[in-house]
Amino acid sequence: MARQFEVRREQDLPAPPERVWDAVATGVGNLGWLYPMEVEPRVGGKVTRGESTVVAWEPPRHFAVRAEQDGGFSNTLTYRVEPADGGTTRLRTGIHWVHTGVVDDAWEWDTKTDAAERHVDFYQHSLAAYLTHFAGRPAVYIRASRTERTDDPADFAALRRRLGLADDSAVGDRLSLDLPGTDGGSTEVVVDWLDADFLGLRAPDALYRFFNGSSWNWPIWLGHHLFAEDADEAAATEAWNAWLDGA
């Protein structure tokens, strides 16, 4: 019997449909809030998301991609973009997994579905932040990961303190963030997301995103979106990797 999993989300976004489409359905847009995902703009086109294929392409309203893996697993990501009042947009996002093969302990179905649901909420928040503060600006994406994985939630709490957050910090707090790889460089940031598994900091020219892997036995990692014109991807990646392993 096939095992299935779905995530459905709706959100109102402060941008017209064409701008939202560019954010979710183009490689340039994805760099600003998600992760690198190049899209060949046609049904049947290739997508660099687990070797996915475009299965719906109706700009600026309907975009969907599907990835299929060995063992009877498929993953379909769908966006439906609808105009709303005042030049805003209603976005309906869906993720649909189907597994027709044998689901054994190695596949960790419950762990992966829990992680997927939690990550969707964080990414959708980042999409709104991108459209509100950085829409249309080219971004450099930085991904770094701690070498060792952890199952201790205290490690992520220690990371937050190292960034300068107090134990009682809350969304809306402002602080000065010391940037790795810079000579005493710092930037003012606002906490725009904070819970046990995710931390979001917004700067004038960046979205800093931190992910706690301990809930799913993964390493702590980060995925930052840098909008400064002089952002150096290689240097920033090296600096943040060193910072994570020094935690």
pLDDT by residue (tens digit) across 219-235? 999 999 999 999 999 99
On the question of pLDDT at 39 being above 80, the answer is yes
pLDDT for the residue numbered 140: 97
Beta strands in 33-122, from DSSP E residues, in sequence order: 46-47, 52-58, 62-69, 73-83, 89-99
On the question of pLDDT at 106 being above 60, the answer is no
Pinpoint the alpha helices (H) of the chain: 17-25, 27-30, 109-133, 154-163, 233-245
pLDDT for the residue numbered 51: 82
Strand partners, 199: 194, 210
On the question of pLDDT at 150 being above 90, the answer is no
Look at the chain and count its residues: 247
Q: What is the mean pLDDT of residues 147-160?
A: 84
On the question of pLDDT at 151 being above 80, the answer is no
Structure tokens given for 229: 């014109």
On the question of pLDDT at 194 being above 60, the answer is yes
pLDDT for the residue numbered 108: 80
Strand partners, 198: 211
pLDDT for the residue numbered 109: 83
pLDDT by residue (tens digit) across 109-135? 888 899 999 999 999 999 999 999 999
Mean pLDDT, rounded, of the chain: 92
pLDDT by residue (tens digit) across 1-34? 678 999 999 999 999 999 999 999 999 999 999 9
pTM: 0.94
Distance CA 186, CA 191 (A): 15
Strand 46-47 to strand 3-13: parallel, antiparallel, or no bridges (unpaired)?
unpaired
